[in-house]
Amino acid sequence: MIRFALRRLLTAVPTLWLLITVAFFMIRLTPGGPFDDERALPADIEANIAAHYHLDEPLIVQYGRYLGAVIKLDFGPSFAYRDWTVNELIAAGFPVSALLGALAVIAALVLGTLAGAGAALRQNRPLDHTLMAFALSGISIPNFVIGPLLILLFALHLGWLPAGGWSGARREMILPVVTLALPLIAYIARLTRASLLEVLNSNYIRAARARGLAMHQVIVRHALKPAALPVLSFLGPAIAGVLTGSVVIERIFSIPGLGGHFVQGALNRDYTLVLGVVVFYGILIIALNFIVDLLYAWLDPLIRYDRR
């Protein structure tokens, strides 16, 4: 297991390097620069700003300079938010995105697994059909439709919850978390249902039943763990997706998370901010995948990474 972990960590380094390199040159090949604006600057002032940010050096020198800084986890100053460094912006935005994402994932796990298990145990009965109909609509309706609808209903018509903003109050988190969690709940419910049905029809469950174990014991002791495998493999990319993909939610609910920096950073040609966020997410996703792989080994006795 330790050898496996070390091997994974070692492959992470070239992966990250490739990511940085591709992202660096891609953003630099994009037309337009961070300081192009409708009002063009006097030439000498533009040159001065470029020199201040080393943009006047050959690209390969800048690339080397950037790699050197990234090794020290210094992402440099933001070009578009000139009073802040990229590290400060990530430090301010990531906790917000992470809290939002974590709450949504927890809600999705609990509700999705419960709904999926409920549907599987009542296969082809009304409960199953109702839950699966909800799940299907949860997957198909995009969150930029659900979000404004929830705001309209709960914030404007009923007046129960705020229409947006993020000052730390719990009430503000409910609508964005629900909006973010709905498609996840739906997806997890469907995955759980399908895999639980498959497990329940397998021979060792039949054997357990034949030995006289009660149904709830069979499910809790023998069925749930293997049935969780597909959910787990979905969860790794899903968490990453929730963290990066909350751009839409952040915009609808005016939440100061990291997702907005991704999009706005690219539009502003804020080279350092985009790269910083890309590298940060790169590290995060590699770490998440690593954790999921370890959990796999723990859940499934057939998977042992150290065996040759």
Partner 1 sequence: MRQVAVALFALGTAAGCGAPPPPPPVVDERPAPAAAPFVAGTPVLRRGNGGEPETLDPHRAQSVPAQNILRDLFEGLTAEAADGSVIPGAAAHWDISRDGRRYTFYLDSTARWSDGVPLAAEDFVYSLRRSADPATGSPAVQVLSPIANAQAVFAGHLAPAELGVRALNPRTVQIDLENPTPYFLSLLALPPAYPLRRANVEAASDTFTRPGMLISNGAYVLAEWRVGSRIRLLKNPHYRDKDHIAIGEVHYYPIADQNAELARYRAGDLDWTYDLPNARLDWLRQQFPEALTVAPWLGTYYLGFNLTRPPFSDAPDLRRALNLAIDRELLVDKVTRFGELPSFNITPPGMPGYHQPRPVETGWAQAEREAEARRLYREAGYSAERPLRLELRYNTSANHKKIALAVAAMWRAVLGVETTLLNEEWKVFLQNRQQKRVTEVFRGGWIGDYNDPYAFLEIFRSTHRQNDTGYADPSYDRLLDRIAAEPVPVRRFRLLSEAERRLLAAQPVAPLYTYVTKRLVNPGLKGWQDNLMDHHPSRWMYFAGGGSTPDDPTPVAGGEGP
Q: How many other CB atoms are there within 10 angstroms of residue 271's CB atom? A: 26
* Per-residue contact string for residues 127-166; x = within reach of partner 1 by CB under 8 A: ---------------------x--xx--xxx-x--xxxxx
Alpha-carbon dihedral 288, 289, 292, 294, rounded to 10 degrees: -110
Question: How far is residue 135's CA from residue 132's CA, in Å, rounded to a whole number?
Answer: 5
- In the bound state with partner 1, the residue whose beta carbon lies nearer, of 9 and 47, is 47
- Which amino acid belongs to residue 256? P
**Site for partner 1 contains 87 (CB under 8 A):** no
- Does 251 contact partner 1 by CB under 8 A? yes
Residue 55 binds to partner 1 (criterion: CB under 8 A): no
- Out of 2, 3, 14, 31, the residue judged to bind partner 1 by CB under 8 A: 31
User: Between residues 25 and 160, which has the closer beta carbon with respect to partner 1?
Assistant: 160
Choice between 4 and 53, CB closer to partner 1: 53
Among 2, 3, 10, 37, binds partner 1 (CB under 8 A): 37
Region at 155 (left for phi over 0; alpha for psi -120 to 50; beta for the rest) = alpha
Q: Does 170 bind partner 1 (CB under 8 A)?
A: no
Q: What distance in Å separates the CA atoms of residue 4 and residue 303, rounded to the nearest whole number?
A: 12
Q: Report the candidate in 261, 239, 119, 263 with the shortest Cα–Cα distance to residue 180.
A: 239
The three-class DSSP label of residue 77 is strand
Q: Which two tokens stand for residue 2?
A: 């330790």
Q: Which residue has the tokens 């790794």?
A: 236
Size of the site for partner 1 (CB under 8 A): 51
Q: Residues interacting with partner 1, by CB under 8 A?
A: 30-33, 35-45, 48-49, 52, 77, 80-84, 89, 92-93, 148, 151-152, 155-157, 159, 162-167, 251-257, 260, 264, 267, 269
